[in-house]
Amino acid sequence: MNEKLESLKAQAEFVGDRYSLPDEFAEKFAELVVKDLLDLINDANVNRCALTTYDQGIALCTKSQIIDIVRAHYGVKYRPQPASQRLFPVASVRS
């Protein structure tokens, strides 16, 4: 498991063995993974897809809609975290 997943596992307060996961842990872990992915989407550089300011507006709107759809689908309360407060600041998102 990579460093990010190990840290998310610790945040979810894993208690158990490697073959059984308490429901509370699995739910918290899944929530943390979804929030981490939403942060990645939120940080994505839409300028790469935009040739004009109009295109940029559409790209930003689309990004916002994706975040809302994923958040609603998984029932996660999500507020973007400033990179400085994240456990894993995004060093580079492919742009």
| Strand, helix or coil for residue 95 | coil
**pTM for this prediction:** 0.63
Distances 91 to 25, 49, 71 between C-alpha atoms, Å: 28, 20, 23
Evaluate if residue 1 carries a pLDDT over 60. no
pLDDT at 66: 92
pLDDT at 83: 67
Q: What are phi and psi of 91, to 5 degrees?
A: -75, -45
Alpha helices in the chain (DSSP H): 3-11, 23-43, 53-74
Where are the domains positioned within the chain?
46-79
- The Cα 80–Cα 40 span in angstroms is 10
Encode pLDDT of 24-82 as tens digits: 777 888 888 888 888 888 888 877 777 888 888 898 899 899 989 988 888 888 887 77
pLDDT at 11: 76
pLDDT at 65: 92
